[in-house]
């Protein structure tokens, strides 16, 4: 006999884990809805070009992509932002903006599985489509923080701005007499995101940057904390005359935008954060503010990042207008590893017909009575009935094995009297009651136990 194993990089979720995951979903959805976000859902697979248009052909190496029977090049979605924006362009481009959406779904990546990184994984995210103002950016970050609070998970928020980094890189290029095309700029940004200092230095030297320019870039990337904005402003103004507003005006505008976001978060939302101008995010489509959230949990080890997001513009890539948007996505699987969850003790009732010595007619009547009783009890409690025709002791043993609290026994005597025997499986006490009394007694005993 061949034993079929699950596919590498995937997982089976047993009942206890599913209870935890569903509770997380419920909490996250409730928070998003209270903030005015509406849930959307997109297909599990899309045209592969949806992702190559956004992230380039290289992304195909990391995707489950295939040609279907109709010759279409398709892919299992590796993330959810692009599908949501595609949906907006297809269905809602004329809708009044901003649109506030949230989503939850599984995604797929073809890469080496690691701890807390799987080939099938889940994301919970939110997007404001039609706005990337400081107000929209601050709201998205505050929403992510509120979701973590509701989950009782501690996380540190770090905020940066890719526009500042890109403009500063352009300043260094101009001062050094070095020309960089967009692909080369994007490569440097990706290396910054990875913290690959040696590779950055090697690449910039090969392009003709001097040591001072490379040191300045590393200086900008290292700016962090309360004085980051002040120090960044000084670095941007350096070499630009007295007011520093001529060639670096755009970068200074972006710095003021970041300053406005910081003020809204601290003064308006009371959301804690740390400025970190070294955040570059690995995706080329980010245009402005970027942020990352790291869990304050040793359990995740090196995989501590649980959320990432920022401002971007990709609607025009899919045939829509150039639309500003801001959003984030949580790594749901990492959150589930640190979510403090204690499963509630579910009250279970087992209806037990006594069938052992019954003749065929009585056996049928007992089974029907058990099913009718279970129908009434199910409107109040989790209720199970036997499907294997077992005797009384076997049914009670099963009830104990699944952690049932009560057994409702129906034998020939109970059937004649129109009553049932209610047995408390924790105490062993039992009494003869009507079905209506049975419901009341179970509720009373549970309330007294909880009290």
Q: What is the pLDDT of residues 419-431, one digit of tens each?
A: 999 999 999 999 9
- The predicted structure's pLDDT at residue 248: 46
CATH superfamily label, 348-445: Anticodon-binding domain (3.40.50.800)
Q: How many CB atoms lie within 10 A of CB 274?
A: 15
Query: Taking the CA of residue 451 as centre, how many other CA atoms within 13 Å lie in the half-sphere pointing to its CB?
Result: 6
Q: Is 132 helix (H, G, I), strand (E, B) or coil?
A: coil
Buried b (16+ CB within 10 A) or exposed e, 69-104: eeeeebbbbbbbbbbbbbbbbeebeeeebbbbbbbb
Where are the domain boundaries for CATH 3.40.50.800 in the chain? 348-445
Q: Is 75 helix (H, G, I), strand (E, B) or coil?
A: strand
Q: Cα-flanking dihedrals φ and ψ of residue 350, to 5°?
A: -115, 125
- The predicted structure's pLDDT at residue 63: 95
- The predicted structure's pLDDT at residue 282: 62
Where are the domain boundaries for CATH 3.30.930.10 in the chain? 15-338
Q: Which CATH number fits domain 15-338: 3.30.9.10, 3.40.50.2300, 3.40.50.300, 3.30.930.10?
A: 3.30.930.10
- The predicted structure's pLDDT at residue 125: 98
* Residue-by-residue DSSP string for 102-120: EEEEEEE--S--BTTB-SE
Q: Which residues contact 53 (CB under 8 A, 6 or more apart)?
A: 317, 318
- What Å distances lie between residue 61 and 64, 66, 333, 437, CA to CA? 8, 12, 23, 64
**Which parts of the chain have pLDDT scores under 50?**
241-248
Instruction: Specify the pTM.
Output: 0.90
Q: Which residues contact 174 (CB under 8 A, 6 or more apart)?
A: 247
- The predicted structure's pLDDT at residue 341: 92
Nearest in space to 404 (alpha carbons), one of 350, 448, 447: 350
């Amino acid at each position: 006999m061949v034993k079929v194993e699950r596919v590498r990089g995937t997982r089976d979720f047993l009942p206890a884990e599913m209870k935890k995951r569903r509770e997380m979903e419920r909490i996250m959805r409730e928070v998003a809805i209270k903030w005015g976000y509406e849930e959307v859902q997109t297909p599990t697979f899309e045209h592969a070009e949806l992702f190559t248009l956004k992230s380039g052909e290289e992304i195909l190496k990391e995707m489950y992509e295939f040609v279907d029977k109709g010759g279409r090049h398709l892919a299992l979605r590796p993330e959810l932002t692009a599908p949501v924006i595609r949906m907006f362009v297809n269905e809602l481009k004329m809708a009044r903006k901003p649109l506030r959406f949230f989503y939850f779904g599984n995604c797929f990546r073809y890469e080496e599985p690691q701890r807390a990184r799987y080939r099938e994984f889940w994301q919970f995210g939110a997007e404001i489509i039609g706005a990337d103002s400081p107000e929209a950016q601050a709201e998205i970050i505050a929403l992510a923080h509120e979701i973590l609070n509701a989950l009782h998970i501690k996380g540190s928020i770090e905020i940066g701005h890719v526009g500042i980094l890109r403009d500063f890189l352009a300043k260094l290029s101009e001062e050094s007499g070095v020309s960089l095309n967009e692909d080369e700029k994007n490569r440097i940004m990706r290396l910054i995101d990875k913290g690959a200092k040696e590779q950055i230095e090697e690449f910039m030297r090969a392009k003709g940057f001097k040591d001072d320019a490379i040191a300045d870039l590393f200086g900008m990337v290292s700016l962090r904390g309360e004085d980051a904005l002040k120090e960044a402003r000084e670095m941007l103004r350096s070499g630009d005359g007295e007011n520093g507003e001529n060639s670096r005006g755009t970068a200074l505008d972006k710095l003021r935008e970041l300053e406005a976001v910081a003020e809204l978060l601290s003064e308006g939302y009371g959301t804690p954060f740390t400025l970190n101008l070294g955040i570059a995010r690995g995706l080329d489509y980010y245009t402005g503010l970027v942020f990352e959230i790291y869990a304050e949990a040793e359990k995740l080890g090196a995989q501590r990042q649980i959320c990432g997001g920022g401002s971007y513009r990709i609607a025009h890539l899919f045939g829509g207008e150039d639309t500003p948007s801001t959003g984030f996505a949580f790594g749901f699987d990492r959150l589930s590893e640190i979510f403090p969850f204690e499963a509630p003790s579910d009250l279970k009732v087992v209806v037990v017909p006594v069938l052992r010595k019954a003749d065929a007619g009585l056996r049928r009547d007992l089974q029907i009575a058990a099913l009718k009783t279970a129908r009434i009890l199910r409107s109040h409690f989790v209720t199970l009935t036997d499907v294997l025709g077992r005797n009384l002791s076997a049914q009670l043993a099963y009830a104990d094995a699944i952690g049932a609290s009560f057994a409702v026994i129906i034998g020939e005597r109970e059937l004649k009297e129109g009553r049932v025997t209610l047995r408390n499986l924790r105490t062993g006490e039992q009494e003869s009651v009507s079905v209506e009394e049975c419901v009341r007694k179970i509720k009373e005993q549970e309330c007294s136990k909880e009290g």
